[in-house]
Amino acid sequence: MANNRLAAQIVGNVCKDNSSPWVTREQLENYTKKNGGNIIDIMSAAKEKLIVSANGLYTTKELHVMENSICEELLRIHYEYPLQQVEEKAILKLISDYEKENAPIKFDFIQKQAVVTAVNNRVSVLTGGPGTGKTTVISCISYCLRRIHKTIGIVYSAPTSMAASRLAEATGEDAVTVHKYFGITPNGLVKNTFCQDVLIIDEMSFLDMITLSQVLSNIESKTRLILCGDPHQLPSVGIGRCFKDIVDSNVLPITKLIKTFRQEEGSLLLKNIKLVKRGEIELEKGTDFHPVQISRDMETREIEKRILKIYLGAVKAKGIENVKLIVPTNNTPIGTKNLNKHIQHLLNPDGVPFKCKLYGEEVMYKVGDPVVQKKNQEYANNGEIGYVTAVSSTSLTVKYKNGENIYTKETIEELELGYAITVHKSQGSEAEVVISVCLKEHTRLFNRNFLFTAISRSKKQHVIIYHEAALKECLSKDAYNNRYSRLGHKLYVLNSRYKLAIAS
């Protein structure tokens, strides 16, 4: 029995390591070879029902129950209290009013249908690529609901503080993280039940299975739930691929936005974004898309010089606030840490710096440096970029969008230079010119979801600096390939039972 319990623990560890609700026998064998344990014990535990197996996949009882719970809760909210339907003609009139009040916004047919779907369903799903107008549609949905139901309470939320901040900025509404609203503690306790009328969750691809289960089980059946995001962008850090499963199952009312407004229709930039999304190898070169291939034998220092030259040229032409340099990693030779130091030296060499030792390494900031906040605080969210406006021997001042903060040697660990940022830090933002890097040192972490996210941050121009083999490997890998899930299947099966029960 002790061996069986250890086997169940191993399965849980492998699920966690792979951010996957289910894992294969091969993944379990690889883990036991590296970390100890016996695959025979794991198979025995499966027979004893201490772990769950299905179709050659394995998971823990807890994750299996959690997956079931997500399906049950989604369908409970969707079916238990049917809504009184609002005539489509009346909703379209409200959409027209919104357009007039927010000119020059004009919705296409699919965007209008997204609003109609959300107004007339307890649960609705809104998905689409970057720049397809998801946030604007959300604003219009709220507008229509408030016109129809005068006292309706709507909560805007997102999985991360940065995503919530961007949602608030784009909509003009207050937005909060789901963890903060529900009072989810680090040990998994949920302090608050949802007591408003409408819950909107943006950037759903970030939301892991554990958090989604906690949220859904604390929502009353009379709530409207609007789930919004893009399953082709970066998945959650935690276990699961919930939003992708919900979208792919096609069980809940869903609208998929197609037309892109961030990039010009017909541009090579937009064409290449679509090619990357499909994993196509041959990207096309043009005035708004510049592939820069690096030879395999080029030294790291020479690659770095090439990147710096391209970045500095773009900053000179467009201004630092209109250019983003996105790399996959922090600590590799061509990572944010090294690039930031060199860019600071080249772009901002003058001025008296603020210096201190941090974990045995000297850090330095000067007036004009862009910096990234690394911890959620009242004055700035994790991932928010600000600019150094003043320095002294003991402190520095950073100006953010909504205020400023003074950092001392005791709090400086909250900051890092922000000339170059990681893909995760870039998600949800945009810039006129984006430069991305895909080299052989990045292949272990990089996949086409990373590249798709990086390129789609570009509004007008993208430069990709790459090794050919690394780019091919990156495009061949999908971030969800090693995330095995049965959520979509379970949702489909349970929904079929609901429909049969309703029909009878």
Structure confidence at residue 101 (pLDDT): 96
Task: Tell me whether domains 2-60 and 268-359+410-466 share a fold.
Answer: no
Tell me which CATH homologous superfamily contains domain 65-261+483-503.
P-loop containing nucleotide triphosphate hydrolases (3.40.50.300)
Each residue of 450-465: b (16+ CB within 10 Å) or e?
Answer: bbbbbbbbbbbbbbbb
Which tokens in the block code for residue 212?
A: 């989604």
pLDDT reading at 154 higher than 90: yes
pLDDT reading at 243 higher than 60: yes
198 within 8 A of 157, measured Cβ to Cβ:
no
List alpha helices for 80-182, DSSP H. Answer: 88-101, 109-119, 134-148, 161-171, 178-182
Report the C-alpha gap between 383 and 166 in whole angstroms. Answer: 11
Structure confidence at residue 42 (pLDDT): 78
| Over residues 187-192, mean pLDDT | 84
pLDDT digits (tens, 9 = 90+) for 411-439: 999 999 999 999 888 877 789 999 999 99
- 3-state SS assignment for residue 326: strand
154 within 8 A of 167, measured Cβ to Cβ:
no
230 within 8 A of 256, measured Cβ to Cβ:
no
Q: What is the CATH number of domain 2-60?
A: 1.10.10
Map out the domains of the chain as residue ranges.
Answer: 2-60, 65-261+483-503, 268-359+410-466
> Could you tell me what percent of the chain has a pLDDT over 90?
64
More confident residue, 36 or 82: 82
- The fold of the 268-359+410-466 domain, in CATH, is Rossmann fold (3.40.50)
Structure confidence at residue 504 (pLDDT): 76
Region class of 150: left (phi > 0), else alpha (psi between -120 and 50), else beta? alpha
pLDDT band at 264 (very low <50, low <70, confident <90, very high): low
Helix, strand, coil shares of the chain, percent, nearest 5, are 45, 20, 35
Torsion 423-130-253-122 (CA) sign: positive
**Nearest C-alpha neighbor of 134 from the set 54, 238, 52, 205:** 205
| The 3-state secondary structure of 55-80, one letter per residue | CCEEEEHHHHHHHHHHHHHHHHHHHC
pLDDT reading at 467 higher than 70: yes
pLDDT digits (tens, 9 = 90+) for 308-347: 999 999 999 999 999 999 998 888 889 999 999 999 999 9
Structure confidence at residue 265 (pLDDT): 66
Report the C-alpha gap between 273 and 260 in whole angstroms. Answer: 11
pLDDT band at 147 (very low <50, low <70, confident <90, very high): very high
pLDDT digits (tens, 9 = 90+) for 14-67: 999 999 999 999 999 999 988 887 787 777 877 777 788 898 999 999 999 999
**pTM metric for this prediction:** 0.87
Structure confidence at residue 3 (pLDDT): 67
Structure confidence at residue 397 (pLDDT): 96
pLDDT band at 2 (very low <50, low <70, confident <90, very high): low
pLDDT digits (tens, 9 = 90+) for 85-132: 999 999 999 999 999 999 999 999 999 999 999 999 999 999 998 888
464 within 8 A of 472, measured Cβ to Cβ:
no
| The 3-state secondary structure of 361-400, one letter per residue | EEEEECCCCEEEECCCCCCCCCCCEEEEEEECCCEEEEEE
pLDDT digits (tens, 9 = 90+) for 345-360: 999 998 888 988 888 7
Question: How distant is the alpha carbon of residue 407 from its chain centre?
Answer: 29
pLDDT band at 263 (very low <50, low <70, confident <90, very high): low
Structure confidence at residue 137 (pLDDT): 97
Which tokens in the block code for residue 243?
A: 């939003």
> Could you tell me what percent of the chain has a pLDDT over 70?
98
pLDDT reading at 272 higher than 70: yes
pLDDT band at 488 (very low <50, low <70, confident <90, very high): very high
